[in-house]
Amino acid sequence: MHHRISLLGCPIDALTLSETMAEVERIITSRKPSQHCPVNASVLVWLQQDNRLLDVIGQSAIVNADGQALIWASRLLGMPLPERVTGPDLMENLVGLAALKNYRVYFLGAMEEVVQQMIDVFKDRYSGLQVAGYHHGYFLPGEEQHIVDSIRNSQADMLFVALSTPQKDYFINSHLNEMRVPFCMGVGGTFDVLAGKVKRAPMWMQQAGLEWFHRFLQEPHRMWKRYLVTNTVFLWLVFRAYILHKFSKR
């Protein structure tokens, strides 16, 4: 059983990318429907006012630190996480694993042309990939049950859900047992990245914890307020936790 810490009240597993991959294989072998949640600084801030999302994350089989800021915060607070495991990195590795192991994969989310383009990219890269099915993410509430039925009937081994936070997490949690997919992962905007629609930050920016700034540069008018507020609140939460951590040692 892997080690799970509590960072700013959020459970996070102390797992590397390779260890996470091994956990996913174990889950698929067990056939027990399980949820994966990637957590970043924005999610930690969101959790301060969303107990439902916190419950969903707490029930998840795997919770990865998807952001360098969380790694720094964990070290500062004396509970170091080994490395960040980003959604795009994990998803791409898992799709490669699926092609190797003949796992069936279902993709849900993003615009129709984006999910189709991403699947084309994957099929070019992994010739043995079995796509169990796919559906765009712009469906009405009345269509949700039809999509759940489609996922279940596809007999998928992996499900990737590219809806926004916390909709992706709620969707998986609400339908987990009904869909009967062993491994279900919410991936946010990852389809756009893997389809090539959104350019990912250079590695040096990723390692410096500046992916958010790269995203801001691409869409400054839409993202400036979100990142200004989120990053400020996150820094305050970490500072407060650090002060409490220091005083508790006295």
Residues 192 and 208 in one domain: no
Residues 227 and 146 in one domain: no
Which residue in 28, 108, 100 sits closest to 61, CA to CA? Answer: 28
pLDDT at 240: 94
Residues 83 and 167 in one domain: yes
pLDDT at 229: 81
Across the chain, what does the average pLDDT equal?
Answer: 91
Residues 228 and 155 in one domain: no
For the stretch 183-228, pLDDT in tens is 999 998 899 989 888 766 666 666 666 666 556 566 666 655 666 7
Number of domains in the chain: 2
Range of the domain at 216: 204-248
What order do you get walking across the sheet with 158-162 strand by strand?
62-65, 34-39, 183-186, 158-162, 104-109, 130-135
Residues 127 and 233 in one domain: no
Residues 20 and 111 in one domain: yes
Distance of CA 7 to the CA centre of its chain: 17
pTM: 0.91
pLDDT at 230: 85
Query: Mean pLDDT by 10-residue block, N- to C-terminus, for the chain (250 residues)?
Result: 90 98 98 97 93 97 95 95 95 97 98 96 95 97 97 98 96 98 95 82 64 61 68 92 80
Residues 55 and 141 in one domain: yes
Residues 185 and 211 in one domain: no
